[in-house]
């Protein structure tokens, strides 16, 4: 069975060259009815694309799946150019939810509402626009709390037990910083690390333009910086600190981060890039006690990654492309993804067993609960206004944590900018 990786465009010009070589509209595979092409990025270091391609080929004799490898930093720009040129792949991977409306409004995604996916799959709602589905999820990372058991033991602090609010987390961070040579926690520089939790747990809609709910989350972050319990935003930015290095080298005892880090930490400990220490995963701290405890469902955030179908695909290939979307969302594919450390959108017991089956992964029940049980609310609403609003909120984030603006002033400025600049 044929399997190949096509070199993707590195610039819009290269994308248009590909268009000229692909046989016109109908995708990069041209008119070959037995070949599906899929857009991807960093294929050599992102094995999920080839794994899904191999799995689908194994179920469909005579069918070939080719991956078009795009520059990850320019992915959406280059895919948009290829779609406009009629040279895009048959299946368009949705790398960021905030760009779904860009493709949909351009008429570039096929209606895939008839593709059947498991009822309990995560992230499906992010691909629905006005009652129509334009993509299906295969991956859904959510944010959890990583913690270093050795540093907790050294400081004499009890491990997280699933009952923590953010106040409990802040108290533990200060105790850990006082009882060890490490920081109590590490907060990366991304706006997600503050705003994602504030929006999800306050049930706030960033599209409405009211951001007062962000204030207590920024107050807590600044207090932890001032207490020396976490690195300052300016230090993280100026020294280009990495979250992998800060937690993996035991410079911090805790770290809020996405579930994608599980595979990275397991791999880095095996290679020696990270220190050898025992670690665990806990549910992310909660706004209040109404969603804490293992009898409740903690609220966190995260966006799915999914597959849509190029609206320019030939009619004879549409059904095959929809079969691929259904396969990628299936439990069989989810188990295969989990076995290589990818967090699938479907988290059945069999999938979670596979996820924690890797040597070096934590084996305790709370880690399993944290990964499997949560309400994951989207970081990015599916709207054409989202990207512009998030850029304004990034400015708010930088202004507050860098100390260039007070919290209330930064929030007021962001609300004014959204009202005046975003249509």
* Residue 75: per-residue pLDDT: 97
- Dump strand ranges (E) for 60-142: 64-70, 91-94, 128-129, 132-133, 136-140
Please state, in angstroms and rounded to a whole number, the distance separating the CA atoms of residues 312 and 318. Answer: 10
pLDDT band with cut points at 50, 70 and 90 for residue 30: low
Mean pLDDT score of the chain, rounded to an integer?
A: 92
Query: From the centroid of its chain, how far is CA 288?
Result: 25
Query: From the centroid of its chain, how far is CA 350?
Result: 22
Q: What is the mean pLDDT of residues 213-233?
A: 98
**Domain ranges, ordered by start, for the chain:** 3-141+303-346, 143-299+378-421
Please state, in angstroms and rounded to a whole number, the distance separating the CA atoms of residues 294 and 306. Answer: 29
* Residue 28: per-residue pLDDT: 57
Do 135 and 94 touch, CB atoms closer than 8 A? yes
> Is it true that domain 143-299+378-421 has CATH number 3.40.190.10?
yes
Predicted confidence (pLDDT) at residue 22 exceeds the cutoff of 90: no
CB neighbour burial string for 233-244, b if at least 16 within 10 angstroms, e if fewer = beebeeeebebb
Q: What is the mean pLDDT of residues 123-131?
A: 96
Give the torsion through C-alpha atoms of 324, 326, 327, 332, to 10 deg. Answer: 170
CATH ID of 3-141+303-346, from 3.40.190.10, 3.40.50.2300, 2.60.40.10, 1.20.1630.10: 3.40.190.10
Tokens at 313, concatenated: 């695909």
Q: Do domains 3-141+303-346 and 143-299+378-421 have the same CATH topology?
A: yes
Do 82 and 40 touch, CB atoms closer than 8 A? no
pLDDT band with cut points at 50, 70 and 90 for residue 44: confident
Predicted confidence (pLDDT) at residue 150 exceeds the cutoff of 60: yes
Sign of the CA dihedral running 131, 134, 137, 141: negative
Question: Comparing C-alpha atoms, which of 300, 320, 250 is closest to residue 279?
Answer: 250
Alpha helices, DSSP H, located in 60-148 = 75-85, 100-105
The helix/strand/coil state of 94 is strand
Residues 6+ apart with CB under 8 A from 117: 124, 136, 137, 325, 326, 329
pTM of the model: 0.88
Please state, in angstroms and rounded to a whole number, the distance separating the CA atoms of residues 177 and 157. Answer: 11
pLDDT, tens only, 229-249? 999 999 999 999 999 999 999
pLDDT band with cut points at 50, 70 and 90 for residue 29: low
pLDDT band with cut points at 50, 70 and 90 for residue 27: low
Residues 6+ apart with CB under 8 A from 400: 218, 222, 406, 407, 410
**DSSP conformational letter for 129:** E
Q: What is the mean pLDDT of residues 98-111?
A: 94
What percent of the chain has a predicted confidence (pLDDT) above 90?
90
């Amino acid at each position: 069975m044929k399997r190949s990786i096509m070199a993707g465009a590195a610039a819009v010009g290269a994308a248009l060259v590909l268009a000229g070589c692909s046989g016109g509209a109908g995708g990069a595979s041209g008119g070959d009815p037995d070949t599906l092409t899929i857009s991807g990025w960093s294929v050599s270091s992102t094995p999920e694309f080839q794994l899904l391609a191999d799995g689908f080929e194994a179920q469909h004799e005579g069918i070939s799946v080719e991956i078009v490898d795009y520059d990850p930093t320019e992915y959406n720009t280059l895919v948009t150019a290829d779609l406009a040129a009629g040279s895009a792949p048959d299946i368009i991977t949705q790398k960021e939810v905030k760009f779904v409306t860009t493709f949909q409004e351009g008429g570039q995604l096929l209606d895939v509402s008839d593709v059947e996916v498991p009822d309990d799959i995560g992230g499906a709602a992010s691909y629905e626009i006005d009652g129509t589905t334009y993509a299906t999820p295969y991956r859904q990372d959510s944010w959890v709390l990583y913690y270093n058991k050795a540093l907790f033991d050294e400081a004499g602090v009890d491990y997280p037990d699933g009952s923590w609010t953010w106040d409990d987390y802040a108290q533990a961070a200060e105790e850990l910083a006082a009882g060890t040579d490490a920081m109590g926690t590490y907060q990366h520089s991304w706006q997600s690390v503050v705003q994602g939790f504030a929006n999800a747990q306050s049930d706030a809609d960033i599209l409405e333009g009211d951001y007062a709910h962000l204030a207590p989350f920024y107050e807590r972050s600044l207090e932890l910086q001032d207490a020396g319990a976490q690195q300052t935003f300016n230090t993280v930015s100026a020294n280009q600190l990495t979250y992998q290095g800060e937690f993996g080298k035991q410079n911090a005892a805790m770290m809020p981060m996405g579930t994608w880090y599980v595979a990275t930490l397991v791999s880095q400990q095996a290679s020696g890039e990270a220190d050898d220490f025992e670690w665990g995963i806990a549910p992310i701290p909660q706004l209040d006690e109404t969603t804490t405890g293992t009898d409740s469902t903690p609220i966190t955030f995260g966006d799915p990654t999914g597959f849509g179908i190029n609206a320019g695909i030939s009619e004879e290939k549409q059904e095959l492309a929809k079969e691929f979307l259904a396969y990628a969302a299936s439990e069989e594919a989810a188990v295969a993804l989990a076995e290589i450390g990818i967090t699938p959108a479907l988290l059945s017991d069999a999938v979670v067993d596979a996820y924690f089956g890797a040597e070096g992964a934590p084996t305790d029940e709370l880690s399993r609960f944290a990964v499997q049980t949560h309400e994951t609310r989207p970081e990015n609403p599916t709207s054409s206004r989202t990207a512009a609003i998030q850029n304004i909120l990034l400015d708010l984030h930088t202004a507050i944590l860098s100390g260039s603006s007070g919290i209330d002033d930064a929030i007021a400025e962001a609300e004014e900018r959204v009202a005046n600049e975003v249509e």
